[in-house]
A and B are shown apart, each in its own frame.
Chain A
Amino acid sequence: MSVKYIPVQWNFNKYFYDLVLLICVAVYILVFIRIGTPEAGVTRPIDGAIIRMRAFGTCAFLMLTVILCIGPLARLDRRFLPLLYNRRHFGVLTFLVALTHVVYVLNWYYAFSDISPVVGLLTTSETSGQLLGFPFEWFGMLALVILAILAFTSHDFWLAFLSAPVWKRLHLLIYVAYAAAVAHFALGYLQDATNPFFMIVAGGGAVMVSVLHLAAGLKASADGEQAHKGEWIEVGDPTVIPDGRAIIVRIKGNERAAIFRNGDALSAVSNACAHQNGPLGEGRIIDGCITCPWHGFQYRPEDGCAPAPFTEKIPTYDLRLEGDTLLIAAKAHPPGTKVDPLTVPERDA
């Protein structure tokens, strides 16, 4: 695969998405500092820097929780797909919010001393082996470093450079970051906090992330229950595929195919878009071409080639009918291989 970077244009959706994100963060910080904190019963006010480090820290945690809910939500209900589409901006913003938290911590807890903050960070948080008092700062740093790597490599250039599968695997590190963030909170703030609310928010978030992932996983494996017949995989009744749309079949492991219907012609291609692995089967046929739902790359159904002047190609699959049942070949053709479309059997839908 050539290293080629195709920029995705800015458009209204992106502006809307980013605007909502910025509003969420701004609202969180303002409500925390201006409205919530004055309601806390205190003898004397909490230090401004400490209020801010709490505001930004908890905000980053909430953002991370929401980010991790988007994936399974989109799998459970396709209407959430637009959220998935621009998730990277969400990630970068989360990194910036977390970084702000760290800057406040360093400029307060690690300042006003002859010891440099970096040296202090590495030496003052000694552990005595017990869980209580384990340097929770280390977990926070781990989460921040991961978020930094992900934010830095979030640009499309890196996606093209690393290739989509590698990039995707790298970005699964977000789960490690979340686990580290949970540990950071559990060992740090939670043990200090004398009220249960933060525990409820943090614990509830972590539980929700897990439950959603489980639910989406169950749904995927239920959808993927295909009967295997030798080299062919049974798909079912082809007439249920709506015109211009596709159904997604699992071939094996992570490999999925999308079977499209264009009029009465059926064609099967890989479900992964050549651009960024977008789910082609969730797209539809526009102007005779399969159109990716993510950034709109297009492919001809019969050979998986993007129309000229574009050069992207995706793998295709053989299809055949056994009675009224549609079967798909378990082995894909190389990208761009022409396969004659199968005609949908005549029947009134």
Chain B
Amino acid sequence: MSNKRDDSFFIGWAAPPSPLRWFMVAVAGFLIVLFAFSAYVIAATQADPGGGSFRFDWGRQNVVGVLSLDPYPVIHVTESERFPAGHALLLSGNGKRGVQERAEPLDGQLVQASGVIINRGDIDMLQVRNGEAGLSAAEGDAATPIESEDLGRWRIAGEICDGKCYTGAMRPGQGLAHRACANFCIIGGVPPIFVSTVPVEGEEFLLLAGPDGGPIPDELMAQAAILLEIEGQVERLGDLLVFQVDPDTISVF
């Protein structure tokens, strides 16, 4: 009558026969091990997101400096406890917002600014506080205009990033997975930067500008977060390199 083969018969509503039960327990055990192992391997091999971060440990920073509006708001420090005179601080607002509107009437003037620093290597960004306390005109004149030097035309390989996340507002704050976020930041007015694969004049990043020296054109947005090569004019503005790119010269790797 019933032979061995019957042992593996399974009916949904009945308790499974015992050899099948052990098989199921073995499968369950295998699955749990498989899930644990995959999780470990994938998690333990995640790439290093770099050392950028918010420097809440530095406390609130108050600086005085000369503001330049184009292509994106930057303060060239004249007075600060932490930064040497001449150091450039990229500016951003809270979240994925820039400070263009607040900076516009202050272009070229001496300003005081206050907020928290985001730092990665040589890059410093000041996330300014809301209101007058965050950014306003300071007593005195912008005595010396910011020095600028034309460094000629360059073709550079690298990645278009938003200056805030890359600098450490997010870790990692670059790469394809982060691309939509980079677009949000750049559209919102956060200064975009070009992270070069090899240092340019000793700098690993350059502030991006459009061909006319203003903000970058929208078409570059689709090219954020991927490795590409692009050509443009490089200019040194204080201790900051500005890269006026020409969107027609892009080639993607």
Question: Which A residues lie at the B interface, using CB under 8 A?
Answer: 8-9, 11-13, 16, 20, 23-25, 27-33, 35-37, 39-47, 50-51, 54-55, 58-59, 62, 66, 78-83, 85, 108-115, 120-121, 124-128, 130, 132-133, 136-137, 187-189, 191-195, 197-198, 201, 242-245, 283-284, 291-296
Contacts and interface: CB of A to CB of B under 8 A. Distances in A.
A79 B8 contact: yes
Nearest to A193: B47
B221 A124 contact: yes
B15 interface: yes
Interface residues of B, number: 69
Given A79-B20, A82-B10, A192-B177, A62 B45 contact: no
Given A44-B50, A62-B38, A136-B176, A110 B43 contact: no
Given A36-B39, A78-B8, A296-B11, A115 B176 contact: no
Contacts of A128: 219, 222-223
Interface string B1-23: 11101101111111110001001
B177 A81 contact: no
B236 interface: no
A266 B13 CA distance: 26
Interface stretch (B27-35, B75-83, B142-150): B27-35
A59 B39 contact: yes
Contacts of B35: 24-25, 27-28, 31, 59, 62
Nearest to B165: A109
Contact of B12 (A50, A83, A293): A293
Contacts of B51: 43-44
Contacts of A45: 171
Interface in B179-223: 179-181, 183-185, 187-188, 219, 221-223
B188 A113 contact: yes
A194 B222 contact: no
B105 interface: no
Interface of B: 1-3, 5-6, 8-16, 20, 23-24, 27-28, 31-32, 34-36, 38-53, 94-97, 168, 170-172, 175-181, 183-185, 187-188, 219, 221-223, 225-227, 252-253
Contacts of A11: 12-13
Contacts of A187: 176
Given A27-B39, A41-B48, A242-B5, A296 B12 contact: yes
Of B48, B177, B252, the most chain A CB neighbours within 10 A belong to: B177
Given A113-B184, A192-B175, A58 B50 contact: no
A43 B171 CA distance: 10
B27 A80 contact: yes
B42 A29 contact: no
A294 to B, nearest CB: 5
A284 B223 contact: no
Given A44-B52, A80-B27, A85-B12, A195 B39 contact: no
Given A13-B12, A23-B32, A120 B171 contact: no
B48 A42 contact: yes
B112 to A, nearest CB: 26
A293 B9 CA distance: 8
Nearest to B164: A112
Given A11-B12, A83-B27, A124-B184, A37 B43 contact: yes
A39 B43 contact: yes
Contacts of A244: 1-2, 6
A115 B186 CA distance: 12
Contacts of A85: 10, 12
Contacts of A242: 3, 5-6
A310 to B, nearest CB: 15
A242 B34 CA distance: 37
Given A133-B223, A291-B11, A36 B27 contact: no
6 contacts: A42-B49, A51-B43, A197-B42, A201-B42, A283-B9, A296-B12
A137 B178 CA distance: 11
Given A58-B38, A82-B16, A44 B180 contact: no
A66 B219 CA distance: 41
Given A12-B15, A24-B35, A55-B39, A44 B49 contact: yes
Given A45-B171, A133-B225, A188-B177, A13 B32 contact: no
B222 A28 contact: no
B179 A132 contact: no
B147 to A, nearest CB: 33
A112 B96 contact: yes
A107 B245 CA distance: 32
Contact of A191 (B2, B96, B176): B176
Given A47-B171, A132-B253, A296-B11, A113 B97 contact: yes
Nearest to A106: B180
A243 B96 CA distance: 72
Among A25, A124, A128: residue with most chain B CB under 10 A: A124
A293 B46 CA distance: 44
Contacts of A33: 43
B43 A20 contact: no
Contact of B42 (A25, A30, A32, A112): A32
Contacts of B45: 40, 193, 195, 197-198
